[in-house]
Amino acid sequence: MAEAHQAVAFQFTVTREGIDLRLSHQAFTEIYLSGVRSWKKRIIGLKNSVVTGVYPASPSSWLFVVIAILATMYTRSDPSMGLIAKIQENLPVSQSMSNQCQTLVSALLFSTMLWLLLIFTMRMCLKQLLSYHRWMFEKHGKMSTTTKVWVALVRIFSGRKPLLYSYQGSLPNLPVPAIKDTVKRHLESVRPLMDDTEFERMTQLASEFESKLGNRLQWYLKLKALWATNYVSDWWEEYVYLRGRSPIMVNSNYYGMDFMYVTPTPIQAARAGNSLHAHFLYRRKLNKEELRPLMMRSAVPCCSYQFEQMFATCRIPGRLTDTVQHWQDSDYIAVYHNGRYFRLRMYQAGRLLSPREIETQIQRILDDPSAPSTGEAKLGALTAGDRIPWAEARMKYFSSGVNKRSLDCIEKAAFFVSLDDEEQGVIADDPASLDAYAKSLLHGKCYDRWFDKSFTVIFYKNGKMGVNGEHSWADAPVLSHLWQQTLSTDCFQLGYNAEGHCKGEVDSSLPPPQKLSWEISPECEEQISQSLAVAQALADDVDIHVFAYQEFGKGRIKKCRVSPDAFIQMVLQLAYYRDQRRFCLTYEASMTRLFKEGRTETVRSCSNESSAFVRALENGEPSHVCRHLFQEASEKHQNLYRLAMTGSGIDRHLFCLYVVSKYLGVESPFLKEVLSEPWRLSTSQSPMHVEMFDIVNHPEYVSCGGGFGPVADDGYGVSYSFMGDNILNFHISCKHSCPETDAHKFGDQIRTALQDLLQLLSPIRTECHRAEGGGPDVKKHL
């Protein structure tokens, strides 16, 4: 029980001579330094709150306004037009204050009110400027005069050196689209999926909804938009993420990979040392708000509110709905290894442990010979199974005593770490190694991750690592920013010595990591076994294929004067049609972070234009016809993407109308059918922050991105990313239980479609085709 003794500041025993009191100097020192660190964080938070609260002005601008007002008064002028005198008349002052002193106080009060008014005016002007979105619909490289003026005004009103949350008060609210626009766009999106009879029936349902119930629901939604910061986000988080009762493993959580071709060190503990230190360096910047807010076109800020719950956050299971719990601070991490859970403090004497010290602590865990407690080894399976049994087990078995203390330790940790006893990553002579790596990151053994934590970092035996993220607290781009910053810091800033160990010295007085204790009853063990069986069946059913396509990348696509994202979406439409011989409702995730508390919107990539292009290509139409149809399809897709980003998407609006209808207790056949449409092809582009890496000089330091599980039982999940100008990464998932889907087969279709579209669009190929007098130059694939 050495760990327990270290946790108390004093001990005493009662003897015949009296009470023998023994104080622990080390414990009191730790308490004092912890308090100092906490107060420093509060002071920094208070300072940042002031700086952010007055943005786009600065606190020092108050002094400038005061001096300007006093200087004007010194010249016998009244800049307040009598307001200073009015303030002086109504100023509650003591008899001892002189008239000159009263005038000075009144001038200070007037200056402060004027300063706050100027801040409010600047913020409202910036908010109106940020509501302008025409710039997004202009062709790349062709900026209108209006947009040029707008950019200049945005930069003038944006101030200097913004903190992470500086723009939050200036971001516009997400607008509610018109009913008729949403219904019209929905009908356009389903037209290629329906025959004439089905489409006529859907048109009739839509018309009836628009003319009757839709206006009533829209009124309530507009009322919410006036009252709430964002009319979508809270309902989206609750009903899409937190109220789901099925396992979040595979169905909701996602993963991110390590470098594809490089393993900085083969030593597991050393890799953990650098990486964990880098995570806490990132958290330090986050707490100080030193991270730059994401900017589009270097001028337009995106919402940063999702960063607030990155660390010390956990999803808590409930019978009806889960909740997301966030704690303000946590100076330790929870670590799982070989069936045991440990608490590892990341600070000693008020300072962050060095990478070498963290490596030493991790090695202590790896070398610990102790056996797991009864029922401890597979305890994490509770977070991988159905939510209701986990909620009931948590209430029954983990609400008091040692189990509650240990569970609190995991849930309140900064994040969760899993030390895996397997080797994963890219193996040169084994193409399937990436697939196994992805499956391990997505679900592991179903009990060696804590899927409720905001994120779990996994370290493998051979030095590879990865991350598994919980989805309700934030979207993938937010965690991706942390992950890629960590990879960059690990290799390019911290580094390793010649033996592969972390750099630095070790404090010999570091207390060992604390092993958590559990008292798991046989009934609880039975529930763990049941949850593990559910999770294992789900994990075994997942089919994943990951590959890096190196024939060409974003640079070659841009030379064809095509949006890279639109190009890939057309590739996926072509590949899916060849794989299934039909079109399907396609989901592409886009962000709405141009608005306050914005999260995501859906781009329906399967359109009339894309299906016309695919049919023409498959029917052997001449190349110039196919190219023309491709241009129309890609322009349509780009327009849909822009509409989604600027608040004019389809699905979030319809979703919120459906929620309102449920609150009112009314049924809508149109909304019911729309919300039940399956997404058989769910896609997402993984954001890559290439500015964090030197891809030109170190092209081997590229990540393989990340992926997610299939959304529909009979569909595909596809994540793709552009690594620099020459590599495309694809993560494809589906289910073995569906005989119509095969991740590897679909991957082959994607490879073929990539080559076919490049041949179709290549300028050299076009010139050769014209010289030869036409004719199709892309083969038909059955």
Is the confidence at residue 770, as pLDDT, over 60?
no
Is the confidence at residue 21, as pLDDT, over 70?
no
Q: What is the pLDDT of residue 464?
A: 95
Q: What is the pLDDT of residue 20?
A: 54
Mean pLDDT for 652-676 is 95
Non-local (6+) Cβ contacts of 620 within 8 A are 776, 780
Among 101-105, 615-619, 739-743, which is the least confidently predicted range?
Answer: 101-105
Instruction: Please confirm whether the linkage preceding 56 is cis (ω < 30° from 0).
Output: yes
Q: What is the pLDDT of residue 674?
A: 93
d(CA 168, CA 293) in angstroms, rounded, equals 10
Is the confidence at residue 726, as pLDDT, over 90?
no
Is the confidence at residue 84, as pLDDT, over 70?
yes
* Domains of the chain with CATH codes: 2-50 (no CATH), 56-137 (no CATH), 178-244+648-676 (1.10.275.20), 263-542 (3.30.559.70), 550-646+678-762 (3.30.559.10)
Is the confidence at residue 767, as pLDDT, over 90?
no
34-60 pLDDT, tens per residue? 666 667 777 877 877 787 777 888 888
Q: Which pLDDT band holds residue 530 (cuts at 50, 70, 90)?
A: very high
Higher pLDDT, residue 661 or 699: 661
Higher pLDDT, residue 156 or 635: 635
d(CA 486, CA 493) in angstroms, rounded, equals 10
Q: What is the pLDDT of residue 769?
A: 41
Q: What is the pLDDT of residue 142?
A: 81
d(CA 605, CA 585) in angstroms, rounded, equals 8
Q: What is the pLDDT of residue 70?
A: 84
For residue 433, how many other CB atoms are within 10 A of its CB? 16
145-188 pLDDT, tens per residue? 999 999 999 988 887 788 999 999 899 999 999 999 999 999 99
* Burial of residue 304, with CB atoms counted within 10 A of its CB: 0-12 exposed, 13-18 middle, 19 or more buried: buried
Q: Which pLDDT band holds residue 95 (cuts at 50, 70, 90)?
A: low
What are phi and psi for residue 258, nearest 5 degrees? -80, -175
The percent of residues in the chain predicted with pLDDT above 90, rounded, is 69
581-613 pLDDT, tens per residue? 999 999 999 999 999 999 999 999 999 999 999
Mean pLDDT for 532-557 is 94
206-261 pLDDT, tens per residue? 999 999 999 999 999 999 999 999 999 999 999 999 999 999 999 999 999 999 88
Q: What is the pLDDT of residue 14?
A: 55
Higher pLDDT, residue 489 or 773: 489
**Helix, strand, coil share of the chain (percent; to 5):** 50, 15, 35
Mean pLDDT for 488-517 is 91
Q: What is the pLDDT of residue 782?
A: 33
Q: What is the pLDDT of residue 334?
A: 97
Give the active site residues: 471
Cβ-contact 700, 724 below 8 angstroms = no
Q: Which of 146-150, 327-331, 539-543 has the highest mean pLDDT?
A: 539-543
Is the confidence at residue 123, as pLDDT, over 70?
yes
Mean pLDDT for 462-472 is 96
For residue 77, how many other CB atoms are within 10 A of its CB? 9
Q: Which pLDDT band holds residue 775 (cuts at 50, 70, 90)?
A: very low
Cβ-contact 475, 232 below 8 angstroms = no
Q: What is the pLDDT of residue 285?
A: 94
Q: What is the pLDDT of residue 1?
A: 35
Q: What is the pLDDT of residue 692?
A: 66
Is the confidence at residue 476, as pLDDT, over 60?
yes
Is the confidence at residue 772, as pLDDT, over 70?
no
d(CA 313, CA 324) in angstroms, rounded, equals 7
Non-local (6+) Cβ contacts of 66 within 8 A are 107, 108, 111, 112, 115
Q: What is the pLDDT of residue 8?
A: 45
384-443 pLDDT, tens per residue? 999 999 999 999 999 999 999 999 999 999 999 999 999 998 775 677 899 999 999 999
Cβ-contact 588, 568 below 8 angstroms = no
d(CA 268, CA 464) in angstroms, rounded, equals 8
Is the confidence at residue 5, as pLDDT, over 70?
no
> Any idea of the CA torsion for 578, 580, 586, 587, to the nearest 10 degrees?
-100
H helix intervals, 288-346: none
Q: What is the pLDDT of residue 537?
A: 97
d(CA 687, CA 709) in angstroms, rounded, equals 18
For the chain, give the number of residues: 782
d(CA 642, CA 647) in angstroms, rounded, equals 9
Cβ-contact 426, 433 below 8 angstroms = yes
Among 5-14, 581-590, 638-647, 703-712, which is the least confidently predicted range?
Answer: 5-14
**What's the mean pLDDT when you consider all of the chain?**
89
User: Measured in Å, how far apart are the chain's first and last C-alpha atoms?
Assistant: 69
Q: What is the pLDDT of residue 680?
A: 95
Mean pLDDT for 650-673 is 95
Q: What is the pLDDT of residue 616?
A: 96
